[in-house]
């Protein structure tokens, strides 16, 4: 077969045998290339130098400082760390993947790791890096793999779950690990690294399984990038929504209620109400009908939808009057029943149904995390029922709506993924080739018309349809799951959803799932961290604090307090018998955007001295002037 190798901007077409590795190809060309480059980029994925080539195509060699090579760098470093740990301690290794930024490795150890032990591991890693062990790829049978990992129950469990008849492993020095890769060429390619922290974890995220120690780490091609990462890491710790949520009294999770079930405190509930009010108005403006559905339904509904067969372990099921019921895990079957309540004509389409619907999923307690991963959450769900000729327009409108929504909440940077089925395993997906091609074409067309770049992710589609995922970047550059626009070829057929066409015949409806915020819990948790608790005025639970200097200002303060409330502004009157400096400090801690300071001078002048949380003192204003300024901020959603 023929491959085209790009070295910088120059290319060479080479005839190779199927199954050869890039390592062998480059050795025949110029072996120094193996030291200079990290791997290759082909067909939107990283290809390391070790694994056999199975397809023709273009292979662009990547430098070590190319961000596309970083996941392979992190994966390689996780193996180096595991090798170092095995040299120093009696542990049972579990898994060690690269993650969004960095890596971790889970391992079973009787006593938790302490700081000094992390330092020892880091020193041993340096020895492994200096030895520059080449990583060697091997493909072995399942039987060979079971013998090789006979003393590791975690690896044996993974081997049993692998459907393929062969298993891939990577070896470096004396260390061998069960792994698909990809990796860098050798351990010496790792230049700068840090071990960041240790936490507890459960095998497979299941609290009923083995308790593990998880070591997190990071590596980069140079110290500058490491220092930048550490800054983001420390900043992220300061912004942790769980700490800020407690400090600002926004929400809590109570053990008396159960894990993963969020209670919104008054101030957090105000933020949620403001978001919901904006959400509803925007949906009605854009032609959606708002619906409400119950929290439970007979199990029969979920059997029709397929959830009872494929999603049962994530659902809460109970009996009433000898009949099974399910606590709602999804909103879509309810919306379908609303659509099917009457016969629909082609003239009525599209029909757009939207709901802030609370759902419940039996997530394992080991993966729960504040507001970001919970068991009960409210989805901003919508389902669009349309004809084939309306697909591209409806997708485009959904994309526009999604981008408008995230920009309103201060997210200016985003990344778009187009998730499609695995072309090699079409049998694993619902829907015909024709349906998938139409759906993908509609998604691509909507993005293309808007000049939106996207990354194609083969094999990342849900089994019932392709989708657009929009990932938003927060203030410190972290990526969060944002809006999703997704086709469904499965449920419409299960519920037999149709409309009567212009020809008088029944036709199958195209159904689009669409979420702009995802879950309100996760979205608000992300907002807390994005703004570091410094919410813009329109979202702030308390917009204005009125602070009296002495009792002389109390009457005017009360009058202004009432006037602000009449203007529908959220205000807190602080006329405690405390020093002004303490009142200001308390308002700053609560991150209240505006402070009105009222003393004898203000009583005489009929003005208020105004302090802004981010700017400090901004001068004296008449009450009409400052109200006008604040209301304009709110109108502009700033």
Q: Which residues are the active-site residues?
A: 332, 361, 379, 381, 383, 467, 513
| Spatial CA neighbour of 329 closest among 343, 310, 315 | 315
Q: Compute the distance between CA of residue 154 and CA of residue 210 in angstroms, rounded to an integer.
A: 10
Angle (nearest 5°) at CA 617 between 614 and 622? 115
Closest CA to 382 of 440, 315, 331, 323: 331
Q: Which residues contact 250 (CB under 8 A, 6 or more apart)?
A: 244, 264, 265, 267, 268, 271, 524, 528, 541
From 467, 519, 458, select the one nearest 488 (Cα to Cα): 467
- Rounded distance between C-alpha atoms, residue 518 and residue 482, angstroms: 7
The residue count for the chain:
638
Closest CA relative to residue 3, chosen from 40, 38, 30: 40
- Residues 394 and 512: beta-carbon distance below 8 Å: yes
Span between the terminal Cα atoms of the chain, in Å: 58
Distance between CA atoms of 402 and 366, rounded to whole angstroms? 31
* Backbone CA torsion sign across 120, 122, 123, 124: positive
List alpha helices for 52-208, DSSP H. 70-88, 115-131, 142-148, 153-161
Judge whether 77 and 191 are in contact, CB under 8 Å. no
Alpha helical stretches, state H, 567-608: 580-589, 600-605
Judge residue 184's burial from the number of C-beta atoms within 10 Å of its C-beta, 0-12 exposed, 13-18 middle, 19 or more buried: buried
Q: Do residues 360 and 325 lie in contact, with contact meaning Cβ atoms separated by under 8 Å?
A: no
């Amino acid at each position: 077969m023929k491959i085209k190798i790009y070295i910088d901007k120059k290319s060479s077409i080479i005839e190779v045998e199927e199954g050869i590795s890039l390592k062998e190809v480059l050795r025949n060309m110029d072996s120094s290339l193996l030291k200079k480059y990290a791997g290759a980029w082909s067909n939107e994925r990283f290809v390391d130098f070790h694994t056999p080539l199975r397809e023709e195509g273009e292979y662009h060699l990547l430098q070590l400082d190319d961000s596309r090579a970083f996941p392979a760098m992190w994966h390689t470093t996780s193996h180096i760390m595991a090798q170092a740990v095995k040299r120093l301690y009696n542990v049972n290794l579990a898994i060690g993947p690269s993650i969004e930024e960095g890596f971790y490795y889970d391992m079973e150890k009787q006593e938790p790791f302490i700081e000094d032990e992390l330092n020892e591991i880091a020193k041993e890693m340096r020895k492994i890096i200096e030895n520059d062990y080449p990583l060697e790829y091997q493909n072995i049978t399942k039987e060979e793999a079971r013998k090789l990992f006979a003393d590791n129950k975690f690896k044996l469990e993974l081997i049993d779950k692998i459907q393929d008849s062969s298993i891939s492993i990577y070896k470096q020095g004396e260390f061998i690990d069960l792994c698909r890769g990809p990796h860098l060429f050798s351990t010496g390619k790792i230049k700068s690294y840090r071990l960041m922290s240790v936490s507890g974890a459960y095998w497979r995220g299941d609290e009923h399984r083995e308790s593990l120690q998880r070591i997190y780490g990071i590596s980069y091609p140079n110290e500058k990038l490491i220092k930048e990462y550490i800054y983001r890491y420390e900043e992220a710790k300061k912004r942790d929504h769980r700490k800020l949520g407690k400090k600002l009294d926004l929400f809590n999770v109570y053990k008396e209620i159960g894990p993963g079930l969020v209670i919104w405190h008054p101030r957090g509930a105000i933020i949620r109400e403001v978001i919901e009010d904006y959400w509803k108005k925007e949906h009605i403006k854009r032609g959606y009908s708002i619906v409400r559905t119950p929290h439970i339904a007979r199990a029969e509904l979920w059997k029709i939808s397929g959830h009872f067969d494929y999603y049962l372990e994530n659902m809460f099921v109970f009996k009433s009057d000898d009949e099974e019921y399910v606590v709602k895990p999804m909103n879509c079957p309810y919306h379908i029943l609303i659509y099917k309540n009457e016969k629909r004509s082609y003239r009525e389409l599209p029909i757009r149904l939207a709901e802030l619907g609370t759902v419940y999923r039996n997530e394992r307690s080991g993966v729960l995390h504040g507001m970001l991963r919970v068991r009960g959450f409210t989805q901003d769900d919508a389902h669009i029922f349309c004809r084939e000729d309306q697909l591209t327009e409806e997708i485009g409108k959904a994309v526009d709506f999604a981008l408008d929504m995230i920009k309103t909440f201060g997210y200016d940077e985003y990344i778009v993924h187009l998730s499609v089925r695995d072309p090699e395993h079409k049998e694993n997906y619902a829907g015909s080739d024709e349906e998938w091609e139409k759906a993908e074409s509609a998604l691509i067309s909507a993005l293309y018309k808007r000049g939106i770049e996207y990354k194609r992710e083969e094999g990342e589609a849900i089994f019932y349809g392709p989708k657009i995922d929009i990932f938003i970047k927060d203030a410190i550059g972290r990526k969060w799951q944002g809006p999703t626009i997704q086709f469904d070829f499965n449920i419409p057929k299960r519920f037999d959803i149709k409309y009567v066409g212009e020809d008088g015949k029944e036709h199958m409806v195209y159904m689009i799932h669409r979420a702009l915020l995802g879950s309100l819990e996760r979205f608000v948790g992300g907002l807390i961290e994005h703004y570091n608790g410094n919410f813009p005025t329109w979202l702030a639970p308390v917009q204005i604090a009125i602070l009296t200097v002495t009792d002389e200002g109390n009457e005017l303060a009360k009058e202004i307090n009432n006037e602000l409330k009449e203007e529908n502004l959220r205000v807190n009157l602080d006329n405690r018998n405390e020093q002004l400096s303490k009142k200001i400090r308390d308002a700053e801690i609560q991150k209240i955007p505006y402070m009105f300071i009222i003393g004898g001078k203000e009583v005489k002048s009929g003005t208020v001295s105004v302090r802004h949380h981010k700017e400090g003192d901004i001068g004296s204003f008449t009450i009409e002037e400052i109200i006008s300024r604040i209301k304009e901020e709110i109108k502009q959603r700033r």
